[in-house]
Each structure stands twice: as structure tokens, then as C-alpha cells.
Amino acid sequence: LVDAVLDAAATRVDDSLYELDSTLHAGNPSAMPPYLLSQVEKASSAAMECATSFNNYIADGPNTAPTALAELPKNISTLASAVADLVPSVKGIARRTADDDKLVGAARFSAQATARFFRNLQSWRLDGLDALQKTDVVINGNNDVQLALQALNKLVDVLPRGFTLGKGGDPSEIVEKELAKAMGAVQAAAARLAALRNKPRDPFAAYEVKVHEAILDAAAAVTSAVAELVRAATAAQNDIVQAGRGASSRTAFYKKNNRWTEGLISAAKAVAASTNTLIETADGVLAGRNSPEQLIVASNDVAASTAQLVAASRVRAVGGIASRTQEGLETASKAVGAACRALVRQVQALLRPSAEDAVDYSKLGAHEFKVREMEQQVEILQLENALSAARSRLGEMRKISYQEE
């Protein structure tokens, strides 16, 4: 049974390495350095717990208590999940930094060390070794993982974080203030949507009124879902602090877990900013100042920022995702994603060409058909070149803005 768990854990880490090198996977686009640092810290703690429980298993052998035996697969799985989850975060951040090769290399080294750690603990590899030698294998494997994670930590620690606790203030007050600001931003957005809905419109432009109403309904659904998510995030964060602080104060807990705290604050700020941008963009689309494509980008930004808030909470979730408050947060996150997708569908409907613009190509002559076909190929090539150039410019802009944060 233990061998099967170790094999599954190593396979999961190997899968994350495949995604790290695959061009089909962009990584976690919403990951930020504070969140990644908390993931590295979680992986390091998980490796220590895994090594400790495995050494206890070696020492006690058949006499291992059932409760201790049950902890071993859980600790192995926790370490595999922690390392597999940090790999896409590294890839997402590396795309926005100048030293992307170093970051990706450090992540690869950490994952490889973890997979090797798991495989070296399989029974057929430990056969023939005495208890002390087996313990050395566990200690050396854990040491390799810790060194790899420390190297990754050093590279991430120098990246701009956007917010650090070193800027002063009571961490618990800052967290509560930023979560309250996020909720305030969502409530202001809802009020602004209501005002937009009450704006006078041309009674003769029935189709335009219908389109405006559809966009406003979809945007209102997004803000309502985000409001529920912020409430769920606040409840989950209170549970995390209550369970983790013990006899210490909330402030002491936040300071002790400063990297997680910084990630939580950055995520709350991102939610507030993206929600404001969404409503401003929706207003601009209705007024003709912004394009529908801009609204799609703003909606995707809301989805990414809320995912960042959920991920920041998940790192320190009490009892994992199965806890009541974290489960509520995960459900709220799915609702935000669904609302954002519904808004995107409404906007995409505006972009579809009407039936009046359709051309019956079956009625074209052979020569004209060929000319039209070549024109489309040229247009596609021009658009692909423009898209490639735009992506390149966006990548450079993100690197510059990322360094300035």
C-alpha cells in the first residue's frame, strides 16, 4: 500500500514537470511572489512531516500504531500536492520576469528532488538495508528536497511583491482593511451598475436596449458572485487564524505567517482593482467608448484575481479544502467563474456577424471564389502576425510593470 502511494505521488510530481515544459500550459497567470513563497514554505513543511512519519514507520515496523500508519499516506500525498501546485505558479511568474530560466530551473530541480525522494523510499529499494541505513535514505532525500526548495525560495524572495509587511502597520488590521476595501469596491460596483440600468435610453432602439440590459444583467451577476466570494474569503481567513494562532494574538499569527499574509493582502487588492475595472469597462462599452473585447479582458481579469484570493486561502486552509468555510469559498469561486463566462458569452454574441453580412460562396464563380479564398488567407496571416507582435509587446510591458510594482 505504501509503495502504491509513493508511486502515485511521484507520478503526480512528474506530471507537473511535463506541464512545466509543455507549451500548451501557461502556468498560473494569477500567481504572485508572496503566494509562491507561501507555497514553497508549505512544501518544505510537508517534506519534513513526510520524512518524520516515514522514519517513525521504519522504527516501529509492524508495530506501527494504526493512527500513525494512516498519517503516512496522508503526508506523502500532501507533499506531492504541495510541490505539484507550486510548479504552475513558478511558470506563471517566470513569464513576467527577466530571469525566467533560473526560476523554471529551480522549480524543475525541486520537483525532480521530490520525485526522487518518493521513489527512493519504495520497499524494493530499501530491501537489504538495516533500520539505520533506511533512516539515512529518508534523511538524505528530505535534505535534497529542502536544499532545492531553499534555492527556489532565494530566487522568488528577491522578486517585487507589490506589498510587504515591512511597510509598517498592524498586519491583522491591514488584512481586515483590505478585505473590507474589496467588499466596498464590489458594493460600489453594484451601485454603479444600478445607476447605469436607470440611465434614459432611446425608446426606438429596442435591440440596443435589449443588448444593454443583457450586458448589465451579466455584469451584475459577476459583482454579486464576487461579493459572496469576498464574504466567504473573510470567513475562511477568520477560521484559519482562529485555528492556527493558539494562545497568541491575531497580529502575532499574521507576522509569523508573513508570506501568506502578504499573498492574502495582494489578492484582496487585486479583486478590488479588477472589479472596478470591469464596471468602468462595461460603462464604456454601453457608452461606445470601449470595445466589447475590452470587456472580455476585464472579465477574465476578475476571474484571475478571485482565483488568486482562493489560492491564497487554500495554502493555509484548516482541514484542507474539505473544511466548511473553505468549501464555501471554493463554491463561491466556481460561481464567479460561471458568471464571468456568462458575461463573456453575452459580449461574444455582439461580435458575431449578422446573417445580413453572410456571403453565399456557392454562387461565386471559380475565379472570384479563388480570389476571395486568397484574400482570406492573406487576412489570416496578417492577423496572426499582428497577434504575435501584440503578444510580444504585452510580454515586455508586463515585465516592466512587474519590476516597478
The CATH number of residue 283's host domain is: 1.20.1410.10
H or E element that contains 188:
helix 171-197
Please report whether residue 250 resides in a domain.
Answer: yes
Low-confidence ranges of the chain (pLDDT < 50): 163-165, 204-207, 321, 355-356, 402, 404-405
| Residues 32, 93 share a domain | yes
| Residues 115, 17 share a domain | yes
Helix-helix angle 66-94:131-157, to 10 degrees: 30
Cell readout for 240 is 484559519
Distance from C-alpha of 405 to C-alpha of 401, rounded to nearest angstrom: 6
Q: Report the first-to-last Cα separation within the chain, whole angstroms.
A: 48
Instruction: Quote the DSSP letter at residue 248.
Output: S
> Do the Cβ atoms of 118 and 13 come closer than 8 Å?
yes
Give the end of a domain, one of 124, 158, 192. Answer: 158
- Closest-CA residue to 108 (of 83, 125, 75): 83
Q: What is residue 204's predicted lDDT score, i.e. its pLDDT?
A: 44
Q: What is residue 163's predicted lDDT score, i.e. its pLDDT?
A: 47
Please report whether residue 165 resides in a domain.
Answer: no
Distance from C-alpha of 364 to C-alpha of 31, rounded to nearest angstrom: 52
| Residues 121, 41 share a domain | yes
Sign of CA dihedral 28, 30, 32, 37: negative
Q: Which letter, b or e, does each residue of 238-257 get, where b requires 16 or more Cβ atoms within 10 Å of its Cβ?
A: ebbbeeebeeeebbebbeeb
User: Which runs of consecutive H residues, i.e. helices, occur in 95-130?
Assistant: 100-120, 123-126
Distance from C-alpha of 282 to C-alpha of 270, rounded to nearest angstrom: 18
| Residues 262, 236 share a domain | yes
Q: What is residue 317's predicted lDDT score, i.e. its pLDDT?
A: 65
From the number of C-beta atoms within 10 Å of its C-beta (0-12, 13-18, 19+), residue 30 rates as buried
Cβ neighbors of 163 (< 8 A, separation 6 or more) are 34, 262, 265, 266, 269
Helix-helix angle 2-21:66-94, to 10 degrees: 0
| Residues 152, 207 share a domain | no
| Residues 255, 277 share a domain | yes
| Residues 121, 43 share a domain | yes
| Residues 145, 3 share a domain | yes
Specify the number of domains making up the chain.
3
| Furthest C-alpha separation in the chain | 88
Please report whether residue 127 resides in a domain.
Answer: yes
Q: What digits encode the pLDDT tens for the residues 142-175?
A: 999 999 999 999 888 877 655 444 555 666 777 7
Please report whether residue 163 resides in a domain.
Answer: no
The CA-atom distances, in angstroms, between 352 and each of 215, 286, 358 are 15, 17, 11
Distance from C-alpha of 58 to C-alpha of 65, rounded to nearest angstrom: 12
Distance from C-alpha of 1 to C-alpha of 123, rounded to nearest angstrom: 10
| Residues 176, 132 share a domain | no
Distance from C-alpha of 116 to C-alpha of 226, rounded to nearest angstrom: 41
Cβ neighbors of 245 (< 8 A, separation 6 or more) are 252, 253
User: 19: domain range?
Assistant: 1-158
| Residues 287, 339 share a domain | yes
> In angstroms, what is the C-alpha Rg of the chain?
26
The CATH number of residue 136's host domain is: 1.20.1420.10
| Residues 21, 128 share a domain | yes
Distance from C-alpha of 72 to C-alpha of 90, rounded to nearest angstrom: 28
| Residues 107, 43 share a domain | yes
H or E element that contains 99:
none
Please report whether residue 188 resides in a domain.
Answer: yes
Q: What is residue 114's predicted lDDT score, i.e. its pLDDT?
A: 94
Please report whether residue 9 resides in a domain.
Answer: yes
